[in-house]
Structure 1
Amino acid sequence: MTPVATQELHCASLKSNATEAICTPYQGKVSACSAYDSCWAASEAAAANNYNTAVSISNNLKTQWNALKRIECLLDVLAKSGDQTAALTECIQKSHSTDALTIVKPPVTAKLGSFLQAISLQAIA
């Protein structure tokens, strides 16, 4: 074997070792970070969709609750004897609390962006 061929073989071996030691772990981390980002985006979209659905259902329930309370009040007015005008006016003006049906948006866990960037930077160093 010629000295040039020997040197090329030695360089190829070094390149292969360097690729295994540095590039392969880095590619794994990049792949993991990419999968994490995709999963995070999908989870964030699902959470937003679930929240919007819950708010829509809550608004519908609030409307139903107010209608139920109004019907209940009107039935009470009908059951009264005598002049029902004042009771009917009071019933129409009455407001019913729906605070218990208000959806509170849960806090969102912070994305681990800086942590994953640190892992990627360590792989390069």
Structure 2
Amino acid sequence: MELRSVPEADNTARIYQILDAQRQQLFDGLETVPSATYSFALYDEGQWQGGAVASLYGNTLHLASLGVVSQRRRAGLGRQLMAELEKIAARERCRYITVCTQAHQALGFYQRCGFEIFGELVDCPFVGTTKYYLKKERD
């Protein structure tokens, strides 16, 4: 056996092939699972002001990252990005939207957007902060 460092894209593709085959065996009749990546941003006079990246897998849209330039925070841009995320979730008939955040980042923002905490890790990824796992369940 030999352990090698390999290109991420090739490695990921091979791992997903294995996981897809396993899913097909376990969930008979579920041949394909909706999956996609969404990336969108807000611009003001040609200048990037904020953006979001989310991944769809099955019935869940996971918000991987969301950020707004510091000068434009609390100006509603985060809410605009979240509104687009909600549109995607509705169009894709998602049951859940999920996100992870740190205590020092946007926990309150996500809670104001209707997310609820379903898990947390204390002192992760650094001592003195907590990582929160949040979900928003849709009808």
When normalised by structure 1's length, the TM-score is 0.26
Indicate the structure with greater strand content: 2
Which structure is higher in RCO with an 8 Å CA cutoff and minimum separation 6?
1
Indicate the structure with greater helix content: 1
Specify the structure having the higher radius of gyration (Cα). Answer: 1
